Structure 1
Amino acid sequence: MIFGAVLAGGIGSRMGNVEKPKQYLNIAGKPIIIHTLEKFYVNDKFEKIIVLCPNQWVNHTENLIKKYIGENDKIVVISGGSTRNETIMNAIAYIEEHYTIDDDSVIVTHDSVRPFVTHRIIEENIKYAQEYGACDTVVPATDTIVKSMDNEIISEIPDRSKMYQGQTPQSFKIKKLKSLYEGLSEEEKTILTDAAKIFVIKGEKVHLVEGEVSNTKITYPYDLRVAETLISEK
């Protein structure tokens, strides 16, 4: 079985003084999160699409889905956790409570504020997660990457040809992801930035999926203007 997990836990602090989290801001007449969910909803491979958001926004999210997508039993909204990975574990707990999964069952995790994810990217995430157990969507780094250990002086300039910028989806075999996460020490959990790093820390392979430059994350006010332009061009 294949499940989608759309992560909508952010509060949008870098978006500036806005009255709601950025995933609920409108672009082209619809909330960003709805644009994202539509990409998953039309894919018939998903058994269930789980939206995870702050508890106080659950009812609002459910109402938006009813308004823009309609009544359906394919999407469910639940509360997220205090961190990204705890949020994913909440999704897995929901799956385990309602479904009988096997070792090949997959979860496709995606940022709610990446509304331009393509059908190809989602399909390749499903394929490579099934084949390799874990995959991460990336694009080659186009700028030189500079590393500084003290945030003042350059420590290293890595070979750009080996550098990539991470996007989402990130997709995993569910039982493997849960097992590895539960095997982490508290210290290891504090250095996590995303779920793929769980596999890397434990020495497990994570396959690369080719992303798209347009699969951008809406973080700043400028990104909203770019998103409006991209949608109008389509």
Structure 2
Amino acid sequence: MAGGVGARANSASDTSLPKQYRLVAGIPLLSRTLAALLEIDAVSVVVPVIGSDHQSFYNDLGLSHAKLRGPVIGGETRQLSCLAGLEALQSEKPDLVLIHDAARPFVDAALIEGVAAALADADGAIPVTLVTDTIKRSLDGKTVGGTEDRTQLFAAQTPQGFRYEPILAAHRRAVELSDGFTDDAAIAEWANLRVALSQGSTRNIKITLPEDFARAERMILGNRRMEVRVGTGFDVHAFEPGDHVILGNIEIAHSAQLKGHSDADVVLHALADALYGALADGDIGAHFPPSDDQWKGADSTIFLKHATQRVAERGGRILHLDVTIICERPKIGPHVQAMRKRIAEIAAIDIGRVAVKATTSERLGFTGREEGIAAQAAATIELPGEALHDA
């Protein structure tokens, strides 16, 4: 289940990315969760259910696996999205189905084995953990109305497992009658299905709030020393006849276009080189030689995505991207926010970690003579200390 927007997780940051596409220790959350499921032998097929406007985010993950099916577009509610996912499995004819939240990246084989074992004599099974805090009840949210018996309370997790046909039938009925269910076990209970408990895990956290991202990164990275690296990049392209330029993957009308082997996006080129520099990993030319015709006219998002991926492969994360565009024309100011948003999407980081600025050269030099555009960039990244090595 990966169709939500994660409003609570994003509340403290200026980001257009749903939480499942944000980075956790350098890798998108959804990629981590899917990878964990795909590695488990007991899982035979995985179907992601995504939001109706998330297709481009999902495509950017670049996922491919024999067990992984194409994403299913969900509905306006979690319940409708879950039903869409269940319906998509009909051709697989499964006996058992697991319904899992994308926001729980620490799912493992032991959790799933426990759910499967509990399903031996039940219609459904959910992993749970004991409630250790004292739980108070309040009718008005201001005063205590009673104390719950915590020995009878359990915190439910996912993946929740069910016999396929009964839970599909229950979801179909529930859509017609109600939409107030908070999880799939609640639908099973409503449908009078027997739901058993299995052993959950305190590691199986759900990333819900902004601070949960930091907690997840600590769990992944442990106590490894993180080292901050800064890289710089510079790029320049001359003008040639045309009617627009592409800067930061944004098309801007102009009386000329930039000349280059690719789309000549000086902004993305400078940013990619800054990331490569922070990694001590060569430059764009080393990874994408201009002598190779396959890159002729290429969309420069390819270069920035590749540099971003190289950071993730080292277990690092991007802390900040800063680019300055140098030109007399076109006017950059009206397009700064669009560039920031697009760069953040390409690099899978919060827009608050992207700075785009512009300046002129006071009519001096080739930019002053309006012969071309230049861009200089700086990238700040964080790498695990023991991951530092010669490329």
Unaligned runs of 5+ in 2: 224-391
User: 2:293 maps to what in 1?
Assistant: none
Q: Structure 1 residues 156, 205: closer, same or farther in 2, change over 3 A?
A: farther
State yes or no: 1:195 paired with 2:192. Answer: no
Letter in 2 for 1:10: G
Structure 1 residues not aligned, in runs of 5+: 1-6
Cα 1:174–1:143 change in 2 (3 A) is same
> What is the CA-CA distance between 1:134 and the residue it aligns to?
0.1
Deviates more, 1:137-146 or 1:154-163: 154-163
Shift of residue 154, structure 1, vs aligned partner: 2.6
2:82 corresponds in structure 1 to: 88
Q: Take 1:30 and 1:119, find their aligned partners in 2: how far apart are those partners?
A: 21
After superposition, what is the alpha-carbon deviation per residue over 1:131-185, rounded to whole angstroms, capped at 9, x for unaligned?
A: 4120111111111111223323333311111111111111111110122233347
Q: Distance in 1 between matches of 2:212 and 2:175?
A: 36
State the partner residue of 2:239: none
Take 2:93 and 2:194, find their aligned partners in 1: how far apart are those partners? 26
Question: Which residue in the other structure is 2:31 paired with?
Answer: 34
The code of the aligned residue for 1:169 comes to P
Deviation at 1:107, TM superposition (A): 1.0
Q: Does the aligned pair in 1 maintain the 2:87–2:168 contact within 8 Å?
A: no
Partner of 1:222: 211
Give the letter aligned to residue 81 of structure 2: T
2:4 matched residue in structure 1: 10
CA contact (8 A) 2:79 2:175 kept: no
Q: Do the aligned residues in 2 keep the contact of 1:34 with 1:65 (CA within 8 Å)?
A: no
**For residue 146 of structure 2, what is the aligned residue in structure 1?**
156
Give distance in 2, aligned partners of 1:99 and 1:9: 22
Matched, 1:206 2:200: no
Residue type matched to 1:18 in 2?
T
Higher-Rg member (1/2): 2
1:26 positional shift: 0.7
CA displacement at 1:83 relative to structure 2: 1.7
Q: 1:202 offset after TM fit, Å? A: 2.9
Q: Is the 8 A contact 1:130 1:173 kept in 2?
A: no
1:54 aligns with 2:51: yes
Equivalent pair of 1:136/1:167 in contact (CA under 8 Å): yes
Taking structure 1 as the reference length, what is the TM-score of the superposition?
0.86
SS of structure 2 residue aligned to 1:10: coil
Preserved contact between residue 123 and residue 166 of structure 2 (Cα < 8 Å): yes
1:124 aligns with 2:114: yes
Q: How big is the shift at 1:186?
A: 4.8
Correspondence 1:166 to 2:156: yes
SS of 1:223's equivalent in the other structure is: helix
Name the CA distance, whole Å, in 1 between partners of 2:154 and 2:35.
27
- 1:44–1:132: structure 2 CA closer, same or farther, 3 Å change rule? same
| Closer/same/farther in 2, CA of residues 116 and 128 from structure 1, 3 Å limit | same
Task: Quote how far apart the aligned CAs of 1:40 are.
Answer: 0.8
How do 1:131-150 and structure 2 match up within 5 A?
A: 131-150=121-140
- The TM-score normalised by the length of structure 2 is 0.53
Moved over 4 A (4+): none
Contact 2:127 2:199 in 1 (8 A): yes
State whether residues 135 and 171 of structure 1, in contact with CA within 8 Å, keep that contact through their aligned partners in structure 2: yes
Output the CA distance in 2 between the equivalents of 1:65 and 1:43. 20
CA–CA separation in structure 2 for the residues paired with 1:180 and 1:28? 38
Deviation at residue 231 of structure 1 after TM alignment: 0.3
Contact 1:170 1:196 in 2 (8 A): yes
1:19 aligned partner:
16
8 Å Cα contact 2:137/2:146 also seen in 1 = yes
For residues 133 and 203 of structure 1, the distance between their equivalents in structure 2, rounded to whole angstroms, comes to 10
Tell which deviates more after alignment, 119-128 or 149-158: 149-158
> In percent, how many aligned pairs have the same letter?
27
Measured in 2, the distance between the counterparts of 1:121 and 1:40 equals: 11
Higher relative CO (Cα under 8 Å, sequence separation at least 6) belongs to 1
1:74 and 2:67 equivalent?
yes
Aligned length: 219
